[in-house]
Structure 1
Amino acid sequence: MRVTKRTNIAIRVLMHCAANHGRLVTKSEIAQRCNASENHLAQVINQLAQLGYLHTRRGRNGGLELGRPADQIRVGDVFRALEAPVPLAECFADVDNTCPLTDACRLRVALTDAANAFYATLDPITLDALVCDNAPLIDILAPGTGCRGASATGPTQHVLAAQ
């Protein structure tokens, strides 16, 4: 399975916002820190805002921030929301499927199982677990802030540390 560029950038945007918790960040700031074009970022930010992962504010003092606490954003949910419209293989496409094997092919079942396992692996991981106490990441995304990537709510889940 290959993660789309859109999802990759979306996770970077969310990590950047989590690392800079408590302040609005700008699209140009994210573009610089995350090595992404502002045009592509605009599309991703719009989609994340529509999904409720971001709050955006327009205007001179505008910017964006997380739409919910980092410990309530599950990486699997983000991936599912952004990757689901992209068919895993031709036989998963409703419109452009020209494969003559679709009705008899067992690979489709195996690919479905593999995709479900992929998402199940990401489901317990929160945005907070990616950012909190990750000093090297904070040095890249929020240098000089002294931020440790703390979430806005209670104790942090360190799901990744247990893996």
Structure 2
Amino acid sequence: MKLNQTTDYALRILIFLASKPEELHSIETLSRIYRLPHSSLMKIVSELVRQGFVTSVRGRYGGIKLGQAASEITVGQVVRDMEESFKVANCGECVIQPQCALQEVFVEAVNAFLSVLDRSTIADLIRDKTGLVPLLTLSKEVDNL
């Protein structure tokens, strides 16, 4: 199963915010660090705010930060909330669909996949902050782009 780009970016955003929870961060900073389009990040952050994973502060000194503790956000919940569908195959128009048990196998596989993701939180993904934080910091070279 492959996650959509929105889910991928949402997880990256949450990892970044969890790695520096004491600060407000701009979408522009995220865009530069991850080298992702600002407009795409705006849409994803809006959805993360709507879901309660992220809090947005408006104004000149505003920005975004985690809306909950990183230890309370499971990877599985983020994936469920960001993915549009978990259909592995399009069984609806298949001639054998009424008698085929493959769809049940796919449902079981997706449930197992999500169960594994439910065992990890965003906090689990940032255990080694000493190695992660430098990778998520704008260098002077990137900052001058």
TM-score range, shorter chain: 0.7 to 0.9
In the alignment, the residues of structure 1 paired with residue 71 and residue 137 of structure 2 have an alpha-carbon distance, to the nearest angstrom, of 19
The TM-score, its normalising length taken from structure 2, stands at 0.87
- Please tell me whether the aligned partners of residues 131 and 138 of structure 1 are also in contact (alpha carbons under 8 angstroms): no
Match of 2:99 in 1: 104
> Which ranges in structure 2 are unaligned for 5 or more consecutive residues?
140-145
AA aligned to 1:19 is S
Question: When you count helix as a share of all residues, which structure comes out higher?
Answer: 2
Q: Which residue of 2 aligns with 1:75?
A: 75
Report the identity percentage: 29
One-letter amino acid of the structure 1 residue matched with residue 121 of structure 2: T
Q: Deviations over 1:45-79 (max 9, x none)?
A: 01111000000112221110000011111111111
Closer, same or farther in 2 for the Cα pair 1:102/1:59, shift >3 Å? farther
Q: Which residue of 2 aligns with 1:20?
A: 20
Contact persistence 2:33–2:138 (CA under 8 A): no
User: For 2:33 and 2:125, how far apart are their aligned partners in 1?
Assistant: 17
CA contact (8 A) 1:53 1:68 kept: yes
- SS state at 1:24 partner: coil
Is the partner of 1:2 in helix, strand or coil? coil
Aligned residue for 2:55? 55
Q: Which runs of 5+ in 1 are unaligned?
A: 92-96, 145-163
Aligned length: 139
- AA at the equivalent of 1:133: D
Report if the CA contact (8 A) 1:23-1:65 is conserved.
Answer: yes
Aligned-residue offset at 1:143: 6.5
Give the structure 2 partner of residue 132 of structure 1. 127
- Give, in whole Å, the separation in 2 of the partners of 1:86 and 1:57: 33
Residue 10 in structure 1 maps to residue 14 in structure 2: no
CA deviation map 1:111-148 (0-9, x unaligned): 1111111111111101001013243221111469xxxx
Amino acid at match of 1:112: V
Contact 2:86 2:110 in 1 (8 A): no
